Amino acid sequence: MTAVHSTCPYCGVGCGVIAGGEAVRGDPAHPSNRGRLCSKGAALSRTLDDSFRLTEPLLGGVPAGWDSALDHIAGRFADTIARHGPDSVAFYVSGQFLTEDYYVANKLMKGFIGSANIDSNSRLCMASTVAGHVRAFGEDVVPGTYDDWEQADLVVLVGSNTAWCHPVLHQRLQAARAARGTKVVVLDPRRTATAEAADLHLPLAPDSDVAAFNGLLVHLAGSGALDDAWIGRHATGLADALAAARADAPCLDAVAARCGVDPEALETFYAWFAATEHSVTAFSQGVNQSTGGTDKVNAIINVHLATGRIGRPGMGPFSLTGQPNAMGGREVGALANQLAAHLRFDHAEDRAVLRDFWQAPNLATTPGLKAIELFEAVADGRVKAIWIAATNPVASMPRAGRVRQALADCPFVVVSDCWPTDTTALADVVLPAAGWGEKDGTVTSSERRISRQRPFRAAPGLARPDWWAFAQVARRLGWADHFAWDGPAAIFREHAALSARANDGCRLFDIGALAGLDDAAYDALRSVRWPLPAGAAGEGGRLFALGGFPTADGRARLVPVRAPEPRPDGAFVLNTGRVRDQWHSMTRTGRVPELAAHTPEPLLSIHPGDAARLGLADGALARVETPEGAVVLRVGTTHAQRRGEVFAPMHWSGTFASHGTVARATGAGCDPLSGQPGLKSTPARVAPLPAHFEGLLLRRIPGTAPDGVHWVRIPLPAGELFRLAGLDAQPEGDALARLLGAPAGAEIIEMADPGRLTFRRAALLGGELHAILALARTRAALPSEAALADLLGRRVVPTTRPRLLAGIATAPAEGPRICACLGVSEAAIRHAIVTHRLHSIAELGAMLGAGTNCGSCVPELERILRDVREPAL
């Protein structure tokens, strides 16, 4: 197979990849990554297994052809619209759509069905940044580029675990830091891998960011760091913003107290920022996912406007986009409060441009329902038909239990996905979508860079691209002429032409130069950054250094913002987010053994002091309960966590853990401007949940999860492992047989020691180990996972029989696998450091290979090195 150049389907860094044969590697010529990939990117080829894919449309759970599925969808949507009006239907789509998919779905809903009820999972991700950008700049535009990260002398990371969530950009930053001494400051309540790799970490209290940045604005004003000349020409609102900031920040100590940080550390941050012209402030979900997220965004932008540090090399506020095409979704306007191509709902002339361009009979005139409101409308019956695509809301929306019930009760639910999920389980119609490696189109990264995703493999079965399914339904609804594209290139040309329509520079999103690409040129398109108006000399660069903001007066706005009241003490704050090697609800990454090794199961991170107070031991089960629902997770005590706060990963859906879907527990309080939910801080109660027994279940053939116990599913090279915990007494008889799930005809061997409450039962098929169940009173009394995993699928001979049924642990636990690429565990790393007296990452790499491939684990290697070498610190 020839090598195909494409783009990584995960985070918003947008790394270029080359796919060919079995391997997927970094594209040395792509400007985002210059050949680098992180652990997820490096494992991409491992996700291209079709075993679990959806391969045919399902109608009521029964395989159906595309024609009958599409006819049925069109019929039900038409009928619902005829009887209840256009606002009785909705689409819920995703930043994992390609721009072309997004464009088609948005055009169908807003231009033709005549409702703006299309929202995206970007509502949970980027909505506050969009609102903050529009307030400050007049348009949703990221002013800077990735190069700024390498040209800055100070990079401030706010609510961003860049080392794990945008790893290649983090590596670029760390390389620049090594080369030129860039200072890095991290504002995050947790001591993350990113904080470990910084010069200064401010472990601020949740949602105290506005106070911190208001304090900075006051400090800048007091230290002569404001750029009065620039503000005078290019911005308004300084006096009001400063007055609001002063009210929050009467003195440094007051701010430090509000943020719960050391005043000296805060002062150091302020002094560095005041003294460093080349400063970038990058932010992500610790900023956006807050009930005051838009104010946080503007508090950050304010300090850059006040110092005129924007749009010049090495400076500016920088929003990190999460998904591969979060930015593309904003360009096509597929949020309920946007129109396409940065046209605005509340401007009649913008609506006229779009109506005319689309020849749209029913263009929506008012914004639609934002995600949280949208699912509320499904719950109360206002929305009666919904099409969900490329997102898994039953696992990712706050108040997910309510979302599940809403979908179960909704008269008509269509779900497009590549794999079965917790959401497809509730669908009337399931559509099999072509996935990464099969689809063809474009995505836009955090720095406005448009790159191609190109197909290099056939979609399994009948899977088809999303744009095609939406266009097919549009044709069946009677709009064939308007949805007649023969492929993604034609859609992209239309999208590019729209961006240039009636655009004399009033909208910065203009890619008119690409409107004339023929199919061959689209196929060959190299990555380019917008703005790219017709006749542009080169790709788009930095914006706003000389003003030119897309507002009525051409000036930016400093926005007066106030810090929210601190929370009353008492309840814990439940913080949620990501781990290094998993992607969202794990449909792609969750079945790859190499990616499971770093964090095999979802842990509740809690400060050891809090754990002791609650009587929670490391590894014990804890129940986390909020007004919305509860999860049960194992405890991982860590000093990286502030007291009074706990952290749980967002990834483990009902497919991968019995009680681990944190979305069920997260609250649905939203930012009033953006409608983005505050997923990072839900008040919660934490309590021990004693387990009646502990267990392991290993199976050769992955299958349905066990019933009636607490379990976590972990993929193995030769099958799968479930870690079990008993919420009731040890099962017996039939319950036990069901738990093992041995096929008929299997040879069963068993060992029970009722006195010590230990129990083993193994099923052999043709003499090979097919499944094994081990139960014990405590985890310590269980056999080693690695030893059992090693026997799975192998012939059981007299010498291995005793190992199978041994009553005690046969190998010490290895601890988490730190280097995913070379499979190096924390235990091995610690051992090597001590025995070989290693002092550097380079020595560790030479010795064990750890950190030498993708480099995603380097921040953790540094932490372990420090831990071992300087245990007192």
Ligand X SMILES: Nc1nc2c(c(=O)[nH]1)N[C@H]1C(S)=C(S)[C@@H](COP(=O)(O)OP(=O)(O)OC[C@H]3O[C@@H](n4cnc5c(=O)[nH]c(N)nc54)[C@H](O)[C@@H]3O)O[C@H]1N2
Distance CA 695, CA 700 (A): 17
Partner in contact with 13, chosen from ligand SF4, Mo ion, ligand X, none, beta carbon below 5 to 8 Å by kind: ligand SF4
Strands (E), 86-146: 89-93, 118-120
Burial class (CB in 10 A: 0-12, 13-18, 19+), 12: buried
Partner in contact with 626, chosen from Mo ion, ligand SF4, ligand X, none, beta carbon below 5 to 8 Å by kind: none
Q: For residue 531, is the peptide bond before it cis, meaning its omega torsion is within 30 degrees of 0?
A: yes
Element (H, E) at 763: strand 758-765
Tell me the closest approach of the beta carbon of residue 95 to Mo ion, in angstroms: 6
- Binding Mo ion (rule: CB under 5 A), the pick from 64, 73, 125, 426 is 125
Helix/strand/coil for 740: helix
- Binding ligand X (rule: CB under 6 A), the pick from 291, 416, 503, 655 is 416
| Residue 444 touching ligand X (CB under 6 A) | no
By CB under 6 A, name the binding residues for ligand SF4.
Answer: 8, 10-11, 13-15, 33, 37-38, 40-41, 166-168
Partner in contact with 41, chosen from ligand SF4, Mo ion, ligand X, none, beta carbon below 5 to 8 Å by kind: ligand SF4
Q: 728: closest CA among 739, 720, 718?
A: 739
Taking CB under 6 A as the binding criterion, the range among 160-168, 516-524, 829-837, 840-848 that sits at the site for ligand X is 160-168
505, 483 Cβ separation under 8 angstroms? no
580, 856 Cβ separation under 8 angstroms? yes
Residues 867, 870, 871: CA angle, nearest 5 degrees: 60
Taking CB under 5 A as the binding criterion, the range among 33-41, 105-113, 119-127, 654-662 that sits at the site for Mo ion is 119-127
Helix/strand/coil for 170: helix
| Residue 446 touching ligand X (CB under 6 A) | no
| Residue 322 touching Mo ion (CB under 5 A) | yes
Distance CA 720, CA 699 (A): 5
In the region spanning residues 680 to 699, those forming contacts with ligand X, defined by CB under 6 A, are: 680
Nearer to ligand SF4, 160 or 681 (CB): 160
- Binding ligand X (rule: CB under 6 A), the pick from 70, 433, 624, 850 is 433
| Residue 144 touching Mo ion (CB under 5 A) | no
> Chain-centre distance of CA 470, in angstroms?
25
The per-residue DSSP string of 213-234 comes to HHHHHHHHHHTT---HHHHHHH
Nearer to ligand SF4, 10 or 345 (CB): 10
Distance CA 80, CA 89 (A): 7
590, 596 Cβ separation under 8 angstroms? yes
Q: 698: which strand partners?
A: 721, 772
Nearer to ligand SF4, 146 or 467 (CB): 146
Distance CA 101, CA 253 (A): 51
Partner in contact with 513, chosen from ligand SF4, Mo ion, ligand X, none, beta carbon below 5 to 8 Å by kind: none
Distance CA 34, CA 168 (A): 10
Q: Angle 348-358/488-500 helices, nearest 10 degrees? A: 150
Nearer to ligand SF4, 13 or 386 (CB): 13
| Residue 443 touching Mo ion (CB under 5 A) | no
Nearer to ligand X, 503 or 674 (CB): 674
Phi, psi (deg, nearest 5) at residue 25: -130, 170
Partner in contact with 16, chosen from Mo ion, ligand SF4, ligand X, none, beta carbon below 5 to 8 Å by kind: none
- Binding ligand X (rule: CB under 6 A), the pick from 164, 273, 509, 572 is 164
Nearer to ligand SF4, 14 or 793 (CB): 14
| Residue 192 touching ligand X (CB under 6 A) | yes
Taking CB under 6 A as the binding criterion, the range among 127-135, 392-400, 501-509, 559-567 that sits at the site for ligand X is 392-400
Nearer to ligand X, 393 or 741 (CB): 393
Distance CA 31, CA 44 (A): 20
- Binding ligand X (rule: CB under 6 A), the pick from 26, 144, 159, 329 is 159
Partner in contact with 435, chosen from ligand X, Mo ion, ligand SF4, none, beta carbon below 5 to 8 Å by kind: ligand X
| Residue 418 touching ligand X (CB under 6 A) | yes
Distance CA 485, CA 479 (A): 12
What does DSSP assign to residue 677? B
Nearer to Mo ion, 33 or 289 (CB): 289
Residues 272, 277, 283: CA angle, nearest 5 degrees: 70
Four-residue CA torsion sign, 705, 706, 711, 716: negative
Q: Angle 826-835/858-869 helices, nearest 10 degrees? A: 50
Question: Which residue type, as a one-letter code, is found at position 720?
Answer: E
Helix/strand/coil for 236: strand
Residues 98, 103, 104: CA angle, nearest 5 degrees: 105
Nearer to ligand SF4, 8 or 556 (CB): 8
Nearer to ligand SF4, 17 or 210 (CB): 17
Partner in contact with 740, chosen from ligand X, ligand SF4, Mo ion, none, beta carbon below 5 to 8 Å by kind: none
Partner in contact with 206, chosen from ligand X, Mo ion, ligand SF4, none, beta carbon below 5 to 8 Å by kind: ligand X
| Residue 396 touching ligand X (CB under 6 A) | yes
| Residue 391 touching ligand X (CB under 6 A) | yes
Nearer to ligand SF4, 17 or 709 (CB): 17
| Residue 512 touching Mo ion (CB under 5 A) | no
- Binding ligand X (rule: CB under 6 A), the pick from 152, 650, 781, 841 is 650
Distance CA 617, CA 193 (A): 24
Tell me the closest approach of the beta carbon of residue 41 to ligand SF4, in angstroms: 3
| Residue 587 touching ligand X (CB under 6 A) | yes
Nearer to ligand X, 117 or 160 (CB): 160
Using CB positions, name the residue nearest to ligand SF4: 41
Cα dihedral 431, 436, 440, 444, rounded to 10, equals 110
Q: Angle 238-248/293-306 helices, nearest 10 degrees? A: 120
Binding site for Mo ion (CB under 5 A): 125, 322
Binding site for ligand X (CB under 6 A): 11, 94-96, 121, 124-125, 158-161, 164-165, 187-190, 192, 206-207, 209, 284-286, 289-290, 322-323, 389-393, 395-396, 416-419, 421, 433, 435, 439, 466, 575-578, 580, 582-585, 587, 650, 662-663, 666, 679-680
